[in-house]
Structure 1
C-alpha cells in the first residue's frame, strides 16, 4: 500500500512539473518579446482589497512629478469606486484580460505584500517587470519568518518547477526600500531560499513612502484639520475632542485581539477620556477586519470602527495624522506615529505568550518603547491617565532607532535609486 501511495505521489509531482513546463512554453515567448513601456507603472496593495499603504503614497508622489507616467491600480471590485475617484490613476480588476495586457506591457510594479498577492494573480512575468517593494511596515518584528512563508520543496520535481518555472520565479527579484536595520538583520528577517531573497545590492535604506506623508504634514495645521474633518464626517466623530487611536497588530494563533469595547474596565477608561476631553478610536488589524464582520459603534467615549469603514473608507495615514495619541502593541504603526513626536502607549497584555508563540524574533518592547509599557489593564489605565509630557518622557534606550532612515523623502530617494526618474 505504501508503495502505491509513493508511486501516485511521484506521478502527481511529475504532472505538477509538466504543468509548469507547459505554462512556461506557452507564455515565455510573449512575455519575453513584448515591448515594455518605461512609463507604465502597476500598483497594488493588501491582496487587492485596499487602496492604501506605501503603494498609494508612492503613486501620489509619482503623479506629483507630472512626467507622463501611466499609472494603473490593480484591485478587486470592493475598491473600484475608491480608485476611480482618485485623479491620475486607472482601476484594473485583478485577474482580468485587461490586467494581463498591462502585465505584458508594463515595466514597473509597486507592491506592499508581494507581486502575486497584490498585482499578478499568478500571471507569469518572468522577471520582465521591475518589482518595487516598500513592504507594509517597518520591521518592528520579524516580518518574514519561515513559519509564515513556504521554503522550496524538498521534492526534486517540485523544486525544479518552483525554482525555474513556477509563478514564484515569474516575479522579478524585488528592489526593497526599508527603514533602518542593518543588512545582517534584514537577511535574518527575510530568510528566503528562493530567487527573490533579500540582497544588499538590491536594497536601500530609503525609508517608507507612507511615512513621508506624516513627516511632511505633522506640523501642518491646515492638512490636519482637513483630514480630521473628512474622517469625522464619514464616521460621525467629534472634531472638538482629542483623538486617541488604538491599532493592534495581527495575532495568527492565539485568539482574537483585545478590544476596549468589551473590557470590564470601560467605566474607568471612559472616566479618564472624559477628563481628557478625548475619545478612543479602535481600529483592528486588516486581517481581523476581513475575517470578522465588525459592525462598529460606541461604548461611552470609545468608538469601534466597522470593517467596511476601516478597510475601504478611511486612509490609515490620515487617521494617524489626525490622532493625538496612539495605543498599540507590536504593530509597525508605532514607527509611523513615532515620527510625529506624539504620545504612545504600548499595551502588550499578552507579551509573554506573543513573543513565545507568534514572533520569536520580536524586538524587545522595552528597548524600542516610545512611551509607557503596560502589561495589564491596571498598568494601561495608569498610563492612560498620564499627561502628554509624562508619556513623552518615557523612552526606551533604542527609541527612534527603527525610524532612523525616515527623513520625509523616501519616495524621491527610492525612485532615483531604481532609475524610475533621473
Structure 2
C-alpha cells in the first residue's frame, strides 16, 4: 500500500482529481492550514489560526492533517480533515485560502482563485533553495531540487518575511517575484506577549519543579548523516553524565531535535534531569520556559534572542558544515549573539559564564537584535492577516 501510495501513477491520479475538483466553485472564506507537512499544530500557521479564530469568526478555519498526526489534532480539539481522503480532495482544492510553512507535494497545483500564503519557518542562517551549490540530501539531485523550489514558489501569492535581511534572501533563494509581507513572524508574537504565570504553568505541564532552571538544547540536522530520505541521524557530542555532575542540581535539560531527525533517545538514566521534548507540539512554549538556549546552525536563535536570554552555539563541526554542507549567509563567527564553542569543556565553561549574566548588556547581542528583530513587536500576526485577506 505504501509503494502504491508513493508511485508515479498514484501521484498522476491525485493531480488529475485535484485539478478537476479545483475548478469547482470556491468555498468562500474557507482557510486551510498545514504546518510541517501536515504533521504539527505549530509555528506561523498556528499563530495565524489562533488569531483568526478570535478576530475573524465568519471565516471557516480548517487543518489539513497527516494520518500520523490525527491523534494530536483531536487532543487539541481542532477542526481538521485527513490528508488524501475523499473529503480532503473535495475540500482542499476548493478552499479560498491556503496557509502553509513548507513546500507542498510537487503534484499538487494551486487552483485558480486560491490565495496561497507561504509563511516559511525561520530566518535563514544556512543557505536555502537555489543558493545551495550542491545538495547532499539522500536521493536528491541538485538540479531537480532547485527546479522543485522554483515550481513551488510560483504557486505562492504571499510570502512572509521576518526582516529586510530575510526578504532579500528569500526572493533570490526561492526565485520568488510575488508579494512579500515583511512583518516579523506571527509565531513570535507570544515571545513579547507573555506573563510569569504562563511560564509557571508551562513548567507544571512539563513536570519541572518551579525552582529549577532550564537549558533548551535545539540542534539541527546534518544533510549528509541520514538513514534514508527525510530521516536523519544525530549523536550527542557532550556526555550527559558529565552534564549531570556539572549542572544537575540546579538545572534540567530539554532536548529538542529537528523534526527530520529520526533518533529515539533513551534518557531514562537521567529521569527528572533530561527530558526528550522533540514531540512537544510547539517549540514556542519551550522558548518561554527555558532560561538558556544551546543550538548550532538551527534558526531558532533568531527567535530566542527576542527573549533577551543567553544563547550558546555548540558548533563542534563548524568547518565541515560551513565549507562543505551548506555555507552561511552571515559571518556567524563574528555576528553570533553568543559564544561559539566546539568541545564539551568549552560548552560547560560557556554555560557557567552566561547562566547568571545579563545578556542585554552585550553590545553584540543588542546589535544582532536591532538587525534581525526590529519588527518583532507582538503584532506581526495582525499585519499578516490584514495583508493576505484584503
Question: TM class by shorter-chain length?
Answer: 0.7 to 0.9
Pick one of 69, 79, 92 that aligns with 1:79. 69
Tell me, yes or no, if structure 1 residue 57 matches structure 2 residue 47.
Answer: yes
Pick one of 338, 360, 381 that aligns with 2:305. 338
Asked if the contact 2:103–2:152 (Cα under 8 Å) also holds between the matched residues in 1, the reply is no
**CA 1:108–1:31 in 2, change beyond 3 Å: closer, same or farther?**
same
CA-CA distance at 1:23 after TM superposition: 8.5
Structure with the greater alpha carbon radius of gyration: 1
Asked if the contact 1:42–1:73 (Cα under 8 Å) also holds between the matched residues in 2, the reply is yes
Report how many residues are paired.
365
Asked if the contact 2:254–2:275 (Cα under 8 Å) also holds between the matched residues in 1, the reply is yes
CA-CA distance at 1:391 after TM superposition: 5.2
* Residue of structure 2 equivalent to 1:198: 176
Asked if the contact 1:228–1:318 (Cα under 8 Å) also holds between the matched residues in 2, the reply is no
* Residue of structure 2 equivalent to 1:246: 217
CA-CA distance at 1:189 after TM superposition: 3.2
Asked if the contact 1:366–1:396 (Cα under 8 Å) also holds between the matched residues in 2, the reply is no
Scaled by the length of structure 1, the TM-score of the pair is 0.76
Tell me, yes or no, if structure 1 residue 399 matches structure 2 residue 368.
Answer: yes
Scaled by the length of structure 2, the TM-score of the pair is 0.82
**CA 1:94–1:122 in 2, change beyond 3 Å: closer, same or farther?**
farther
CA-CA distance at 1:59 after TM superposition: 0.8
CA-CA distance at 1:238 after TM superposition: 3.1
In 1: Cα distance, 2:311 partner to 2:161 partner? 23
Tell me, yes or no, if structure 1 residue 375 matches structure 2 residue 342.
Answer: yes
In 2: Cα distance, 1:113 partner to 1:45 partner? 7
Pick one of 363, 366, 373 that aligns with 2:330. 363
In 2: Cα distance, 1:300 partner to 1:222 partner? 25
Tell me, yes or no, if structure 1 residue 47 matches structure 2 residue 37.
Answer: yes
Correspondence list, 1:88-127, <5 A: 89-116=78-105, 122-127=107-112
In 2: Cα distance, 1:51 partner to 1:26 partner? 27
Pick one of 232, 251, 257 that aligns with 1:278. 251
RMSD after superposition: 3.3
In 2: Cα distance, 1:300 partner to 1:27 partner? 48
In 1: Cα distance, 2:43 partner to 2:220 partner? 15
Pick one of 86, 111, 118 that aligns with 1:133. 118
Correspondence list, 1:317-328, <5 A: 317-328=284-295
4+ residue runs of structure 1 moved beyond 6 angstroms? 22-26, 149-153
CA-CA distance at 1:300 after TM superposition: 7.4
**Unaligned stretches of 5+ in structure 2?**
1-7, 227-232
**CA 1:27–1:86 in 2, change beyond 3 Å: closer, same or farther?**
closer
